[in-house]
Amino acid sequence: MNQEETKQINQDRILSEGIERELYDFRDEETDAQFYRMKEGLTEEIVREISEMKHDPEWMLEFRLKSLALYDQIKMPDWGPSIDGLNMDNIAAYVRSRSDMKGSWDEVPEDIKNAFEKLGIPQAERESLAGVGAQYDSELVYHSVREDVAKQGVVYTDMESALTGEYEQMVKDHFMKLVPPTDHKFAALHGAVWSGGSFVYVPKGVKVEIPLQSYFRLNAKGAGQFEHTLIIVDEGADLHFIEGCSAPKYNIANLHAGCVELYVRKNARLRYSTIENWSRNMYNLNTKRAIVEEGGVIEWVSGSFGSHESYLYPTSVLKGEGSHAEFTGVTFAGAGQNLDTGAKMIHIGKNTSSFIDTKSISKGGGISTYRSSVEIRKSAEGSKASVNCGSLMLDSISRSDTIPAVDVRTDKADVGHEAKIGRISDDAVFYLMSRGIPESEARAMIVSGFASPVSKELPLEYAAEMNNLIKMEMEGG
């Protein structure tokens, strides 16, 4: 069977399969016997306890305490969706399984294994991934990398191992250097209580042919997840990293304040893809940033579907001459969701280029805000930037805003911007229905089509997952 036929069959399968909402919504009770749960709130005592449990080196404890002090000083953001519903006194910053991280899937505790198996995680690894990390609540429960990839010198491990092992210095040199705890309140929070996440190092000139993937599952109720992802792609190397996240729904707030730091060296290329499907009680206050050296390329592909509220603006710092960044994203805000998403491009080097293409969809009273910033510094002569954002509102009670900021400090730059806001066309729905396609399916097809610039950029399984999520959102109230 050729590739196109396989693709066809997969698409057919996806379109014909019923939607299983419980695919993401199942939850498992966590008992004291199986799980250790830090008491709720945020105090120096709690931060010290986390640090001790994680066997931090001394400098990390200091780093955490400094971050905590910053957290207490920095004000809440006052420019985006309201986060009044989030009270740190009700959030457990650290929850872990009493079982240690495993390198073999069979050894992972049964309930956790089942949870990931329902999400198709190990299956995906066997089929199409170079390595997999699976985080459950605050810690990784599983990490593995394919032997042939490890032989190329690629390091893919959990942050804790990296911090205490032979890569400690490398971690120390890069950890929260791109996103310092002074950046904003939740960066400070992250610095204080971070736990879990992955460390990736791709040596010079190594091209990793198939993606690495980390999956984050926050199962605990009233808890926070603060994973740290640190990726260094050395000169001329090439990597595709995928992260997925989900959580079951609870009636009290959960918090995700992860941090992603990406270092793309000279002539290296990194693609960072995310499918985020947090439950509707999640405050997703995530910070992602990449710095790109001469001739390097960062490509962000981002699908945001979940959470109650999101603040998410992956940032690319184009430092080196001729470096390039692309951001392709789709955001879907349904009932009760206020998703404030976009991207940030900072052009520093000469002849740098950036390209933003986003689609936001809102439905059922959901609010979707596209917020971006393109900054071209004086040094960035000969740079080019293009922003293209489209919004689609599916009914008259939903809202869509576009807030694109552009700041250009040199005459020798070329910046383009195009924004489109529209409603789903009843005529188009009727058109598809006149061919025998039911109304909900017709709407889903139009929305999937609208979002296709993103799904086209994803590996097949993830594109399928994304289309599935769209279909689910379209059918849900």
Residue 6 phi, psi dihedral angles, 5° rounding: -60, -45
Q: Which is nearer to other proteins, 16 or 31 (CB)?
A: 16
CB of 277 to other proteins, least distance (A): 21
Which among 223-231, 333-341, 367-375, 449-457 is the span making contact with other proteins, rule CB under 8 A? 449-457
Residue 477 interacting with other proteins (CB under 8 A) = no
Closest CA to 331 of 313, 317, 346: 313
Residue 396 interacting with other proteins (CB under 8 A) = no
Residue 78 phi, psi dihedral angles, 5° rounding: -120, 15
CA dihedral 199, 205, 206, 207 (to 10 degrees): 110
Q: Which is nearer to other proteins, 150 or 432 (CB)?
A: 432
Q: Which residue has the tokens 């390329």?
A: 297
Number of Cα atoms under 13 Å in the Cβ half of residue 163? 21
Which among 2-10, 104-112, 194-202, 228-236 is the span making contact with other proteins, rule CB under 8 A? 2-10
Q: Which is nearer to other proteins, 12 or 52 (CB)?
A: 12
Residue 19 interacting with other proteins (CB under 8 A) = no
Residue 435 interacting with other proteins (CB under 8 A) = yes
- Nearest-angstrom CA–CA distance, 311 and 256: 10
Residue 260 phi, psi dihedral angles, 5° rounding: -120, 125
Tokens describing residue 342: 């976009």
Residue 442 interacting with other proteins (CB under 8 A) = yes
203 in helix, strand or coil? coil
Tokens describing residue 33: 């016997």
Residue 12 interacting with other proteins (CB under 8 A) = yes
Buried b (16+ CB within 10 A) or exposed e, 182-221: ebbbbbbbbbbbbbbbbbbbbeeebebeebbbbbbbbbbb
CB of 338 to other proteins, least distance (A): 26
Q: Is 426 exposed, middle or buried (0-12, 13-18, 19+ CB in 10 A)?
A: exposed
Residue 431 interacting with other proteins (CB under 8 A) = yes
Residue 17 interacting with other proteins (CB under 8 A) = no
Q: What is the total count of residues that contact other proteins (CB under 8 A)?
A: 31
CB of 470 to other proteins, least distance (A): 11
Q: Which of 10, 11, 87, 379 binds other proteins (CB under 8 A)?
A: 11
Q: Which is nearer to other proteins, 88 or 433 (CB)?
A: 433
Which among 49-57, 149-157, 349-357, 432-440 is the span making contact with other proteins, rule CB under 8 A? 432-440
- Nearest-angstrom CA–CA distance, 227 and 138: 7
Residue 336 interacting with other proteins (CB under 8 A) = no
Beta strands at 282-285 and 309-312: parallel, antiparallel or unpaired: parallel
Q: Which is nearer to other proteins, 19 or 433 (CB)?
A: 433
- Nearest-angstrom CA–CA distance, 258 and 285: 7
Residue 438 interacting with other proteins (CB under 8 A) = yes
CB of 467 to other proteins, least distance (A): 11
Residue 453 interacting with other proteins (CB under 8 A) = yes
Residue 446 interacting with other proteins (CB under 8 A) = yes
CB of 6 to other proteins, least distance (A): 10
Residue 5 interacting with other proteins (CB under 8 A) = yes
Decide: 305 and 273 in contact? Cβ < 8 Å. no
Q: Which of 42, 163, 292, 445 binds other proteins (CB under 8 A)?
A: 445
Residue 422 interacting with other proteins (CB under 8 A) = no
Beta strands at 139-145 and 131-136: parallel, antiparallel or unpaired: antiparallel
Tokens describing residue 226: 């603060």
Decide: 34 and 97 in contact? Cβ < 8 Å. yes
Strand partners, 406: 374
Residue 425 interacting with other proteins (CB under 8 A) = yes
Residue 114 interacting with other proteins (CB under 8 A) = no
Q: Which residues bind other proteins (CB under 8 A)?
A: 5, 8-9, 11-12, 15-16, 425-428, 430-439, 441-442, 445-446, 448-453
